[in-house]
Amino acid sequence: MKLQNKVIIITGASKGLGVAMAEECAREGANVVIAARSKPELDSVAKRIAANGGKVEVVVTDMSNPAHLEALVGCSVARFGRIDGLINNAGVNYVKPFLEVDLKEWQRVLDVDLTGSFLLTQICARQMKSQGGGGSIVQIASVHTHASLAGAAPYDAAKHGMVGFSKAAAVELAPLGIRVNILSPGLCATEIWKDIVAAAPSEQECLDYWNANIPGKRLVTPEEVARCCVFLLSEDSSCITGTNIFADLGMTSLLVSREPYASKAITSQ
C-alpha cells in the first residue's frame, strides 16, 4: 500500500472528486480526515470507508472560515497524532459574464478557492515542520490555469493564484522535506458534467462538442484523478515538487477543436 498509516486530510470530500480521493487514499492504507460543509454527506462517505476497514475522521469545515481550518488540523492531530498529507480540493465557482460579476461573488470564490487553500496549506505545513519535516501537499487546480472559458473570471483568478503561491511554498518548504504540487484536472465525470449536459440542446450534441476538444475523446474519471493524488502523496513522487500536472486527456495540448468533417491528407511537395 502506497500510503500505509499516513494521515491525509481531504477537503471538499462530500461529493465528486473529493469522495473518490478519500476512498482511494483509504484503500492505499491512509488514515483519512474528510472535510466539507455538509455533515450528512461526510457521514455517508465515512460509513463506506469504515465498512471497508478504513480509519476515518469527519470534520465539518467551511474553507472561508480561518477558525475552521485551524480546528480541522487540530482535530486531525488529536485523532491520529500527526499529518502527512493534504489534498486541497474544496472549491466553489460562478459561471457568469465578466461584466456582470459582482464583488460579493468574486470575493466568495477567492475566499474559498484561494485564501482558504493558502491558509490550510500554511497551517498543515507548520504542523509538518513541528513533526520534524516531511509531507506532501496536493492542490487541486484546473485546466483553467492554462487557458480560460467565458464566464470564469473569479475561478480562473483563484486557480492561477493557487499555482502561484504553491510554487513559492514548494521552493521554501523543500529543505524541510515538504513537497507541494498542483494537479489540474480536465473535464471530469462529476456533478458539473450533469450541469453542462442540462444546459446543452441534447446530451449527444454536448458529447460531440467536448469530444472534439478532448484528444482522449472522453471525460476524466474521479478515480483517475484520485490515483494521481495518491502518486503525488506517496514516495513514488519523492523528487517532484512545485509542479503543475495536467490530468486532462490532452485537452490543454490541443490548439483548436477537431474539424467537423473529414480532411484530406496534406503532404509536402
Alpha helix (H) residue ranges in 174-243: 191-199, 203-211, 222-233
Q: Which three cell numbers stand for residue 110?
A: 477567492
- Residues labelled as active-site residues: 155
β-strands 31-36, 135-140 pairing = unpaired
Distance CA 63, CA 106 (A): 15
Residue 146 belongs to what H/E stretch?
Answer: none
CB atoms within 10 A of CB 210: 20
Of 248, 243, 235, nearest to 5 (Cα)?
Answer: 235
Give the residues across from 56 on adjacent strands: 32
SS3 for 39-100 is HHHHHHHHHHHHHCCCCEEEEECCCCCHHHHHHHHHHHHHHHCCCCEEEECCCCCCCCCHHH
Cβ burial 101-118 (10 Å sphere, 16+ → b, else e):
beeebbebbbbbbbbbbb
Cell 516531511, residue located: 134
